[in-house]
Amino acid sequence: MKMSGAKRQAGSVWTGANYFILALLSLAALYPLWYVVASSFSSSRAITAGEVFLWPVEFNVLSYRRLMEDGQLFVAMKNTVILTAVGTLFNIVMTVLAAYPLSRRRLMGRNSILMLITFSMLFISGIIPNFILVKFLGLMDSYWGLWLPALISTYNLFVMKTFMEGLPEEIEESAAIDGAGDWLILVRIMLPLCKPIIAALSLFYAVGWWNSYFSVLIYISDTTKQTLSVKLYQMILQVDQSLLTNVSGSEGASQIVLTPEGLKAAAIVIAITPILLVYPFLQKHFVKGVLIGSVKG
């Protein structure tokens, strides 16, 4: 009994130590984000003096007001939502259409196709050939120039294929015996079973489109089509020493100076908030879909 009690006590200590270490690691991961949020609501003087630690110091929303005052940020937000929603839809449709036949062993030439796809994952063409191709196709200044070259992520395709290979083949065979074709099996049977991996890959694709910056910078020169990341970067660049803005607010005669650090913090919060709001709705599918799709096979 004494040994059993000692083992339980040792187990409790070990569990408590694990919780303590995990809590420390979680705080270490979350604190940079929390610091950015606190800095975005703090005064420039407090940020410059290094007084911001856990909570906003001299609370104000001047950085957010500066970013939103001309309305261009809302236009960029709308463009980003369109780019993300349509791009993610295209990605999921094309990934499913490619992964389903590749997951069926009866596909002729399956191994050769997989080898070619793997080759394209290891050896990419580079920026200049892609730019020439997009320009030759007349897709400059169009979102199609972003969507078409990025229709399928090879890595995500393999994750989807692996997930489909893990589904019982007996289900497909039963449907085939009842007269169902490939399209009916894909739409009515495979897709409902693939909800976890579709949710996980949708989040992957959506985050990529939402944060897309370099491709937009290369292919989109029309200022009315620029996305949130590019617009925020341009607005931050404008705040150099010669353009520091003196804002007289409700604080009376005192003048408050905006600094790039405060604007950067506000820009980061604006950029990541929509994705943070979407993530909880996909989280339960996210873990299950990624684990099954990446381990099996």
| Secondary structure of residue 177 in the 3-state scheme | helix
Asked if residue 228 belongs to a domain, the reply is yes
**pLDDT tens series, the chain, 297 aa:** 555 677 777 778 888 888 999 999 988 888 888 888 888 888 878 887 888 888 888 888 888 887 777 777 788 888 889 999 999 999 999 999 999 888 888 888 888 888 888 888 777 777 888 888 888 888 888 889 889 888 888 888 888 888 888 887 777 778 888 777 888 888 888 888 888 888 888 888 988 898 888 888 888 888 888 888 887 777 777 765 444 545 444 444 444 566 777 777 888 888 888 878 877 776 666 666 565 555 554
Torsion angles phi and psi, residue 221, rounded to 5: -110, -15
Q: Domain range holding 115?
A: 78-236
Residue 61 CA to its chain's centroid (Å) = 26
Q: What is the dihedral of CA 263, 141, 120, 211, to 10 degrees?
A: 20
C-beta of residue 287 within 8 angstroms of C-beta of residue 202: no
All residues at 6 or more sequence positions from 55 whose CB lies less than 8 Å from its CB, including other chains = 38
Asked if residue 6 belongs to a domain, the reply is no
Alpha carbon distance 244, 267 (integer Å)? 17
Asked if residue 190 belongs to a domain, the reply is yes
What pLDDT, on the 0 to 100 scale, is given for residue 91? 93
Asked if residue 199 belongs to a domain, the reply is yes
What pLDDT, on the 0 to 100 scale, is given for residue 92? 93
State pLDDT tens for residues 1-56: 555 677 777 778 888 888 999 999 988 888 888 888 888 888 878 887 888 888 88
Asked if residue 45 belongs to a domain, the reply is no
Asked if residue 136 belongs to a domain, the reply is yes
Cα separation of the two ends of the chain: 46
* CATH (domain of 166): 1.10.3720.10
Give the count of domains, the chain. Answer: 1
Alpha carbon distance 142, 118 (integer Å)? 29
Asked if residue 144 belongs to a domain, the reply is yes
- What tokens appear for 284 in the block? 């339960």
What pLDDT, on the 0 to 100 scale, is given for residue 289? 59
CB-based burial label for 243 (10 Å; 0-12, 13-18, 19+): exposed
C-beta of residue 283 within 8 angstroms of C-beta of residue 218: no
Asked if residue 29 belongs to a domain, the reply is no
Amino acid at residue number 78: K
